[in-house]
Structure 1
Amino acid sequence: MNILLASNNPHKKEEFARILTSHTLVLPSELSLRFDFEEDKETFTENALGKARALKAIAPDGYLVLADDSGICIDALGGAPGVRTARYGMEEHGRMLESPERNAWLLKNLSHITKTEQRSARFVCALALIAGEHRVFTLCESVEGYIATESYGKGGFGYDPVFVVKEAGKTMAELTEQEKDRVSHRGRATRHLITLLGEL
């Protein structure tokens, strides 16, 4: 199936494509579509649905539309940054931060918390798939872990260097692509998506 991904992030496309090997994923930019969506909803699922519907409105025929909204929720921060994961630190700095800056800002804000169990966190991934006018599907997955005291690893992107996957004992950035796909929030959600696509 041809799937149009509601994202301008090539890293997300790579992660989805590694698992959705039987399908063709395309970014809006590859079809010369200008796509931008303000993620202003209160939940990951609402944001994913909003993105999917916005892209479906301008998508050419013949494409399913897939949207993802993901983020990190940290218990010591009351679940923040949550749906504002990509904008974390923006208010304090007056601009969008690059990933290394966001990670450094997060580590600074948690520097007074030294016990691992008090640095608990989870990555969440919500997916929305639009396969037709009345065929809209959503699903959500997460992975438990905690925030490291410094960055580790060279792989992945975003918060991967500071998020330790509980079952792996490594940060997302230290995992191989295959290991990450097996345990990550996006990997888990995408495997459920494969089942859903097989039923369409």
Structure 2
Amino acid sequence: MKEVLIATNNAGKAKDFEALFEPFGVRVLTLNDLDEAIDVEETGVTFEENAILKAETVARMLGKIVIADDSGLEVDALDGAPGVYSARYAGTEKSDDANIDKVLNELVEVPTEDRTARFRCVLAVAGPGIETETFSGSCEGLIHTERKGTNGFGYDPIFYVSQQERMMAELSPEEKSLISHRGAALEKLKVKLPQFIEGR
């Protein structure tokens, strides 16, 4: 059976990829399945650069097809911040609450109509015999003034999804997967899967 490694320790992300690869008879592994710990420093200044860096580094180390993603929140009134620093926007300890507080504080004077934002995800696929490719997806919304909802993680409690008329954190996992940035990127990747699996 062919294998593909997802460069993540996140079990939730792994499930998304398992559903995608199952029809092709491909086994999905994550960094948690490896005997050695691999930690790639994300030195890129864009989501694309970080995703490619992770995918190519791990693919070279293991000689397998590797998929890596980088994702985060882009707020237009903050010139695209927090962007690639989304997970550590308020500091290296990676606190969701602290990150949300920082964004809300920076937007205090910004009117609702100017609080446009999007979640962005870029997937990079690298491996022996294939040319590295990236696939991106986004989900548009607005930054609310206060938290709502208990689902999801990260900035979900303050991200208002206009088409759903609810916060991302008020959506069920199934509802979120239908409109999420990662779901959109996965749909684009799905089209090219046979080529990657067969090494064409």
TM-score w.r.t. length of structure 1: 0.87
Are 1:151 and 2:152 matched, yes or no?
A: no
Cα pair 1:130 1:137 within 8 Å, conserved = yes
1:71-150 superposed matches below 5 A: 71-90=72-91, 95-113=92-110, 115-150=111-146
Cα pair 2:56 2:127 within 8 Å, conserved = no
Cα shift readout 1:5-60 (whole Å, capped 9, x = no counterpart): 1122233223444555434322112122311122121211111000001111222x
Task: Report the aligned-residue RMSD.
Answer: 1.9
Cα distance 1:27–1:89, how it changes in 2: closer, same or farther (>3 A)? same
Cα distance 1:37–1:117, how it changes in 2: closer, same or farther (>3 A)? same
- Distance apart, 1:143 and its partner CA: 1.3
- In structure 2, list runs of 5 or more residues that go unmatched: none
AA at the equivalent of 1:104 = D
What is the number of equivalent residue pairs in this alignment? 193
- In structure 1, list runs of 5 or more residues that go unmatched: none
**Counterpart of 2:84 in 1: which secondary structure?**
helix
The corresponding residue for 1:27 is: 30
Are 1:40 and 2:40 matched, yes or no?
A: no
In structure 2, distance between residues paired with 1:84 and 1:39: 10
- Distance apart, 1:152 and its partner CA: 1.4
Cα distance 1:25–1:154, how it changes in 2: closer, same or farther (>3 A)? farther
Find runs of 4+ consecutive structure 1 residues off by over 6 angstroms.
none
The corresponding residue for 2:69 is: 68
